[in-house]
Every structure is written in structure tokens, then in C-alpha cells.
Amino acid sequence: QQQVKQSPQSLIVQKGGIPIINCAYENTAFDYFPWYQQFPGKGPALLIAIRPDVSEKKEGRFTISFNKSAKQFSLHIMDSQPGDSATYFCAASSVGAGNMLTFGGGTRLMVKP
């Protein structure tokens, strides 16, 4: 069964801290790794995504690090703000093999003022 394992389940940081959320996958055919952000009562929205041909991608304060050999990828939030408090989901799919998007279990992040 294709799985994406996400950790931690919850995370509390102070404003300005750098929360790190990790995901690990099993299927070596995965070649698309997006992160979604979900605020309470809302649907998830795409935050940032990476392909395995690069090891890092930055968009604003959000950075994805990708380790192909370890089959792991992570999300870092620089200078975190209380407005970043949300649930974050990692996901993975393989465009070539036609595998649908598989989601991790989610991480509830709270950034304290």
C-alpha cells in the first residue's frame, strides 16, 4: 500500500521560531511532492510543491527540503507567525505511473505570539 508518513502530529512554536514538519514515503515512483495548508473550517490549499530533480525549494518563508535517497521531504517555516497556525498536509504522487495523490496524516501547528 502506498503510504506517506507525516510527523509530528502536532507542533507548538513561539513566534519567530522555525517549525519543521517531516514526511517519509515508500514508493520510489513518486515524483511530485506538494504541501497543503488548511485553516479551521476551510478546505486545504496548495502551499508549495517540489519535484525530485531539486533538493530544495523556497517560496517566501516556506522551504521544502527533499532527500531522494532517504525518501524523505520536509517543510520549514522561517520566522513563523501566529497567522501560520494551521494544519499542514504533505502529499505525493507519480505523474508517470499515474498514481493518485496520497496524503500524509497532517500536522497541527500552533505559533504562539
The stretch near other proteins (CB under 8 A) out of 18-26, 51-59, 63-71, 103-111 is: 103-111
SS3 assignment for the chain: CCCEEEECCEEEEECCCCCEEEEEECCCCCCEEEEEEECCCCCCEEEEEECCCCCEEEECCEEEEEECCCCEEEEEECCCCHHHCEEEEEEEEECCCCEEEEECCCEEEEEEC
Question: Taking CB under 8 A as the rule, does residue 104 contact other proteins?
Answer: yes
Question: Taking CB under 8 A as the rule, does residue 65 contact other proteins?
Answer: no
Question: Taking CB under 8 A as the rule, does residue 27 contact other proteins?
Answer: no
Q: Which listed residue (23, 93, 109, 111) binds other proteins by CB under 8 A?
A: 93
Q: Which listed residue (69, 70, 98, 113) binds other proteins by CB under 8 A?
A: 98
Question: Taking CB under 8 A as the rule, does residue 100 contact other proteins?
Answer: yes
Closest CB to other proteins among residues 45, 54: 45
Question: Taking CB under 8 A as the rule, does residue 105 contact other proteins?
Answer: yes
